[in-house]
């Protein structure tokens, strides 16, 4: 049963529709009920009726649509309103009938899709005419302090006489002299303006009538491409992307005129304070081409409508709108099948934990939350990083494959190439979460995407990345390969998307680990690799290192520096990296470091003992063995440098 009254209307006061109208056939389905073609029993005229299902919580939207239609339907580009009726039915539930002008030419979306299905596309002059008439309708609303808030192709209907009508005012908002902005996130996701989406997350965010301009810009793309941008994504995922992505464009902008592209660009300015209003857009050169040609364009539009109807009904894709005040009316996947947690209606800590646990039990270690990828360390090798998987995620839609870190790499790469903008991927997590391995996999996929035409360059990027981690990673109590530093890896690509180099920066390195480790922990991996390598090659004596006694700060009861290290794959990888990168000079440098720390341990821990160890005249004999300049070494070790930051006072 409907509530008997809204805030200002009483449903019982409306007449019974069966006295005047007779249902002929079903036209389609709206947001809250079906739409039928009806016949007027008195004068034989035909109309459309939206019969609202008996839902309890939509009285505000019914009232909004009723008030706007009653007040503003006297415009050529707004659907005519013939009245509201109330049908009492104890058995099936009461019904509200909104009787409207019959727009039997379908929607502009139907027209665009029908033409594309025939291998054709809508002429720009027809698109300009549709947009001009839509702007006229929006101007009428905005002048009367009303925001439509759900402008899209399916809400712009056509009559068989070439009329263009705005419909569906259920979520429209009326402004007042004291309230010129709104702060409710409402609309259909793919067409929603960034500032409208922001109202869901930022309580102080507002927007004005220019949100309709953004939606019209998306509709313009829809008329050209047949679908709005991001339509291949789940609607809730699109809500994550719209505020973060650059303004969308036509799929192939080069196929369209500069004027059409510029019109879309003006509509889709992300800062709504800088976005033009409807009156400004009516003066745009793309729209003004219709002036004086209205009759000709209307005739051409009628011919297209007739042709479209002769071919048959185009399968419609329904995009449900959302309203943050009432919650989403969209259907989501079953909880067990969700790859993206953002699609869940309820997203709290318990839900996330349950979802991740269930997926982990099925060896699904990756899960999306909008643009974020959650990776749960499986602690065992998985066959999901093969060359076949590498190819599977290149240029693929997120929805085409299960969540994967390769998809993150592909998204960043494709965005970089498409928008010619730098991209950034942040990897964060607890110790042992798999950050290091995730970084390896990202670099691996990006080098494949970057089509490095120099195999040596590709190997350098991959191996040197591992080499840097050998310098900064160590075994801790809870993680055998814990990163003891922060790493910033910058990969360079040319204009064609080919990788041309990489640069790695480190920060917050735990330098004290070189001379002191907590109980049960080890030094940085690189020292074990170097010492074991020199021992294996019988070169310890050459670098003044003992071959009979393991250095104290490298000793560990559970590891044998010789065979355990030399037979380790990581050991071989590091020495390959040294050779490929051409930085064999690090061998004597690291050896000297081991020697210095051994001396330091023997002499004590005071700073003066270190100074004594590396006096140039006493260390001169080691100069040839290390291939280092001792005077320079002395300066580096014994002199401190301080970095200060200057602050500018206002």
Distance (Å, whole) CA 462 – CA 575: 13
Instruction: Please answer whether residues 486 and 538 qualify as being in contact, where contact means their C-beta atoms are separated by less than 8 angstroms.
Output: no
In which element (H, E) is residue 72 found?
helix 59-72
In which element (H, E) is residue 33 found?
strand 33-40
Judge whether 432 is annotated as a binding position. Answer: yes
With a threshold of 0.75, does the pTM exceed it? Answer: no
pLDDT digits (tens, 9 = 90+) for 33-51: 688 999 999 999 999 998 8
Query: Of 52, 63, 51, 57, which is closest to residue 10 (Cα–Cα)?
Result: 63
Judge whether 198 is annotated as a binding position. Answer: no
Distance (Å, whole) CA 527 – CA 255: 59
Judge whether 315 is annotated as a binding position. Answer: no
Range list of β-strands (E), 413-525: 473-474, 482-483, 486-493, 499-507
Distance (Å, whole) CA 525 – CA 508: 17
Instruction: Please answer whether residues 562 and 538 qualify as being in contact, where contact means their C-beta atoms are separated by less than 8 angstroms.
Output: no
Judge whether 646 is annotated as a binding position. Answer: no
Distance (Å, whole) CA 86 – CA 14: 5
Is residue 288 pLDDT above 90, yes or no? yes
Judge whether 257 is annotated as a binding position. Answer: no
Instruction: Please answer whether residues 629 and 623 qualify as being in contact, where contact means their C-beta atoms are separated by less than 8 angstroms.
Output: yes
Range from 29-43, 290-304, 456-470 that averages highest in pLDDT: 290-304
Instruction: Give the Å distances, CA to CA, from 149 to 153, 168, 179.
Output: 13, 10, 16
Distance (Å, whole) CA 370 – CA 281: 33
What per-residue confidence (pLDDT) applies to 484? 86
- Split at pLDDT 50, 70, 90, the class of 330 is very low
Is residue 623 pLDDT above 70, yes or no? no
Q: For the chain, first and last CA: distance in Å?
A: 65
- Specify the DSSP class assigned to residue 429: -
In which element (H, E) is residue 264 found?
helix 258-267
Q: Which residue has the tokens 């990296």?
A: 577
Instruction: Please answer whether residues 199 and 184 qualify as being in contact, where contact means their C-beta atoms are separated by less than 8 angstroms.
Output: yes
Q: Which residue has the tokens 């002048």?
A: 143
Strands 146-147 and 95-100: unpaired
pLDDT digits (tens, 9 = 90+) for 588-619: 666 666 666 655 555 444 444 444 544 555 44
Is residue 297 pLDDT above 50, yes or no? yes
Q: Which domains does the chain have, with CATH numbers?
A: 1-102 (3.30.200.20), 105-331 (1.10.510.10), 377-510 (3.40.850.10)
Distance (Å, whole) CA 121 – CA 647: 59
Judge whether 303 is annotated as a binding position. Answer: no
Judge whether 430 is annotated as a binding position. Answer: yes
CA 510 from centroid of its chain's CA atoms: 34
Judge whether 436 is annotated as a binding position. Answer: yes
Query: Of 79, 260, 50, 266, which is closest to residue 156 (Cα–Cα)?
Result: 79
What per-residue confidence (pLDDT) applies to 2? 41
Whether 16 sits among the annotated catalytic residues: the reply is no
Judge whether 63 is annotated as a binding position. Answer: no
Instruction: Give the Å distances, CA to CA, from 222 to 108, 197, 215, 345.
Output: 9, 20, 10, 28
pLDDT digits (tens, 9 = 90+) for 368-397: 988 899 999 988 889 999 999 999 999 888
Instruction: Please answer whether residues 63 and 7 qualify as being in contact, where contact means their C-beta atoms are separated by less than 8 angstroms.
Output: yes
Query: Considering 43, 94, 123, 150, which one is annotated as catalytic?
Result: 150
């Amino acid at each position: 049963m409907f509530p008997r009254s809204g805030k200002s209307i009483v449903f019982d006061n409306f007449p019974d529709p069966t006295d005047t109208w007779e249902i002929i056939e079903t036209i389609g389905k709206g947001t809250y009920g079906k739409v039928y073609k009806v016949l007027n029993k008195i004068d034989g005229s035909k109309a459309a009726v939206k019969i609202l299902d008996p839902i309890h919580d939509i009285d505000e939207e019914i009232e909004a649509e009723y008030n706007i239609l009653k007040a503003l339907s006297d415009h050529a580009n707004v659907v005519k309103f013939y009245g509201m009726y109330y049908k009492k039915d104890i058995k099936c539930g009461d019904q509200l009938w909104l009787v409207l002008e019959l727009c039997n030419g379908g929607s502009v979306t139907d027209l665009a899709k029908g033409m594309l299905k025939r291998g054709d596309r809508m002429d720009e002059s027809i698109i300009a005419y549709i947009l001009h008439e839509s702007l006229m309708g929006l101007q009428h609303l905005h002048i009367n302090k009303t925001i439509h808030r759900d402008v899209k192709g399916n809400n712009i209907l056509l009559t068989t006489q070439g009329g263009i009508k705005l419909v569906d005012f259920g979520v429209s908002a009326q402004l007042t002299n004291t309230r010129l902005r709104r702060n409710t996130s409402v609309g259909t996701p793919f067409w929603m303006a960034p500032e409208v989406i922001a109202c869901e997350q930022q309580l102080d965010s507002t927007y004005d009538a220019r949100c309709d301009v953004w939606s019209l810009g998306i509709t313009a793309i829809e008329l050209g491409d047949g679908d709005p941008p991001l339509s291949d994504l789940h609607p809730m995922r699109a809500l994550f992307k719209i505020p973060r992505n650059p303004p969308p464009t036509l799929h192939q902008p080069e196929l369209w005129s500069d004027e059409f592209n510029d019109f879309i660009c003006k509509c889709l300015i992300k800062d709504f304070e800088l976005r033009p209003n409807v009156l400004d857009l009516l003066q745009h050169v793309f729209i003004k081409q219709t002036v004086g040609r209205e009759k000709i364009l209307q005739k051409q539009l009628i011919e297209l409508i007739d042709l479209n109807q002769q071919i048959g009904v185009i399968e419609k894709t329904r995009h449900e709108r959302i309203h943050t005040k009432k919650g989403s009316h969209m259907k989501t996947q079953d909880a067990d099948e969700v790859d993206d947690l953002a699609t869940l209606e309820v997203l709290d800590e318990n839900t996330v934990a349950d979802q991740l646990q269930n997926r982990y039990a099925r060896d699904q270690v990756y899960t999306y939350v909008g643009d974020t990828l959650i990776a749960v360390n499986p602690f065992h090798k998985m066959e999901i990083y093969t060359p076949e998987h590498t190819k599977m995620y290149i240029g693929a839609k997120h929805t085409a494959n299960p969540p994967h870190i390769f998809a993150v790499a592909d998204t960043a790469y494709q965005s970089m190439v498409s928008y010619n903008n730098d991209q950034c991927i942040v990897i964060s997590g607890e110790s042992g979460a798999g950050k290091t391995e995730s970084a390896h996999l990202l670099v691996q996929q990006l080098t494949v995407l970057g089509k490095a035409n120099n195999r040596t360059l590709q190997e350098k990027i991959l191996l040197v990345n591992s080499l840097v981690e050998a310098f900064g990673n160590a075994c801790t109590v809870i993680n055998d390969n814990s990163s003891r530093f922060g790493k910033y890896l910058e990969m360079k690509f040319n204009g064609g998307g080919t990788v041309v180099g990489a640069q790695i920066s480190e920060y917050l390195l735990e330098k004290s680990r070189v001379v002191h480790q907590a109980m049960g922990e080890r030094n940085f991996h690189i020292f074990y690799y170097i010492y074991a390598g020199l021992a294996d090659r019988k070169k310890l004596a050459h670098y003044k290192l003992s071959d009979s006694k393991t250095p104290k700060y490298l000793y560990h009861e559970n590891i044998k520096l010789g065979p355990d290290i030399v037979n380790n794959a990581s050991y071989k990888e590091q020495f390959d990296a040294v050779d490929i990168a051409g930085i064999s000079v690090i061998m004597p440098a690291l050896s000297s470091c081991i020697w210095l720390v051994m001396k330091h341990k023997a002499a004590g821990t005071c700073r003066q003992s270190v100074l004594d160890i590396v006096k140039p005249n006493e260390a001169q004999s080691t100069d040839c063995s290390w291939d280092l300049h001792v005077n320079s070494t002395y300066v580096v070790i014994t002199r401190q440098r301080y970095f200060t930051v200057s602050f500018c006072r206002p």
